Structure 1
């Protein structure tokens, strides 16, 4: 375990997504107690915040999950449904701003449930983090040694009570590609299908992974947006597809981006099954010469742009793409429909 006052990430978070992201659909489904602060706050995507003057009917407003002081034997726990089934690489149990009210210890169990939520005592819970010490107002990073199993739910125990600002569960989405037919069209760049942004030029207003998320987006903050470029060049993101495949249809959605959409976009691709999740500077430089799939295309504000046969090149199977915005701006969603290779 490592403890840090900032949010610098450990190696297990490299190339990972937060399976406990509320934005992606994670949900707190049960807590023994949430008197001071509800469970769902613990899953918020934004970093925890603190307002010294903010109170509610039950006392000090805290940005996280907080139970009352326990006056009977036992301890508090909460059950979280992950945003998607996934393999877990590690955790961040964040006690930011909980200084005199943090739990001294926590542990975590996991379960895999094919459909629905745990409802009875027959659910098998497996401890994947044993009872571990926590400190005040800090990020606590814990590695998960068994990164191969797939889980859908977590049970977070706190001993005996107190508050957790954020729970981050770093891992990868699990999707059963064996159930996808050879001729079935599927979004190869969907985050629930295992796609992931590996490198990018800028993410000032929004991470490029947001482009790969569900739906059309909630607002301008739910897409990838870069800061205003004041010099030469353009912004780009390198994305690992959920499965090698051939791309036959592309959607670039600029929903909500009206005065800040890119002027043009383009898509390049390559078949690099051994590239890994941490491309080097040389790998990133080489991506500028990947094969063009979608040549520079003009974009409009707040619009779904669809490109199919005749607009995109058939370059064969690809494992990675480089999506570029010229010169900068925001893209709400990127959909790369194709067939698995």
Structure 2
């Protein structure tokens, strides 16, 4: 290995998230996120690395080391195909939903990426896709670049449960992102629960800064189990404070906020507050509408006045009210900066004509 290659490996041991991916992650949920329950149900070949790594929420590493110290490629990589056809894998999405874009991440795959990729989608109730199912092309044969992150828009209004990623003819890919909107139904909503939950369709529209961690990680399911896997802004050196604007999965009445700062003990915010708005009449439907919402969020009325925060703790605060204030969006303000592991906005969804 030449010195130039060694230097490149040291500098880029861990992959970076491209701005395009950050933009799409802000506007849409990743339906192929393992944290939502997405999983690979079938694959034609996994000679060099398992397809399940496509669904890892973390950026790709140059090499993946397992618990026994073995070194593996961090992504899915097949054998070199020597006969007609192509390699493929079928993924059950974490939640059914509409697909707006396909993110293809070939980080660190420079001479072994597939030259062409296509993606199909279907809807079925079982985990495994039965033979003879009708697959809908959502990304036709598309040229792929090595060591790159590219999002291809999808123009399809269907609700899907599975996708099939086709590598033509073979090769490796670090990550797959299926950007879209989770299909929320009355059956999937709890009578009382976290209305900002990623798995229900809650999403972050924008934030002031996410230098050290993904802002969407705040809404991810489950407890935080590793340092650095929450939202953390850089140290603020100018007046003001950091913030994030969140679209709830469904309109509802909020009753309690849980702000978890586990693993953030010297870098947690000193305090926080909440603002909220009911934008049901606006029926936002795209990135332009989201931008307008974000620009107006600083003027929303206060839902919870500024409250102190403890680091390394689960901070719980009751949201007092008359039980009639319906919210669709919330702005979380942290003062002046810092890290947040998880945010839970507990309340009652508004159903039907409520």
Which TM-score bucket, shorter chain as reference? Answer: 0.7 to 0.9
Structure 1: tracts of 5 or more residues without a match = none
**Cα deviation, residue 180, structure 1:** 4.4
Give the match for residue 27 of structure 1: 39
**Cα deviation, residue 236, structure 1:** 0.7
TM-score (norm 1): 0.85
Task: Tell me the C-alpha RMSD between the 2 structures.
Answer: 2.8
Q: Does the alignment pair 1:133 with 2:143?
A: yes
**For structure 1, which segment, 162-171 or 281-290, has the greater mean C-alpha deviation from structure 2 after superposition?**
281-290
Q: CA separation of 1:68/1:309 partners in 2, compared to 1, >3 Å: closer, same or farther?
A: closer
Q: Does the alignment pair 1:329 with 2:338?
A: yes
2:241 and 2:300 map into 1 onto residues whose CA distance is 16
1:180 and 1:40 map into 2 onto residues whose CA distance is 28
Q: 2:249 aligns with which of 238, 242, 250?
A: 242
Does the aligned pair in 2 maintain the 1:217–1:255 contact within 8 Å? yes
Q: Does the alignment pair 1:156 with 2:168?
A: no
Does the aligned pair in 2 maintain the 1:13–1:90 contact within 8 Å? no
Q: Does the alignment pair 1:106 with 2:117?
A: yes
Q: 2:216 aligns with which of 209, 216, 229?
A: 209
TM-score (norm 2): 0.82
Deviation >4 Å, runs of 4+: 10-14, 178-181, 277-283, 312-315
Does the aligned pair in 1 maintain the 2:17–2:59 contact within 8 Å? no
2:164 and 2:102 map into 1 onto residues whose CA distance is 13
Give the match for residue 103 of structure 2: 92
State how many pairs are aligned.
326
**Cα deviation, residue 217, structure 1:** 1.6
Q: Does the alignment pair 1:16 with 2:28?
A: yes
* Higher helix content, 1 or 2: 2
> C-alpha deviations, 1:162-195, integer Å up to 9, x for none?
11222111111222136648xx213211111111
1:207 and 1:315 map into 2 onto residues whose CA distance is 33
**Cα deviation, residue 122, structure 1:** 4.9
Q: Does the alignment pair 1:261 with 2:268?
A: yes
**Cα deviation, residue 198, structure 1:** 0.8
2:143 and 2:214 map into 1 onto residues whose CA distance is 31
Q: 2:52 aligns with which of 33, 40, 62?
A: 40
Give the match for residue 176 of structure 2: 167
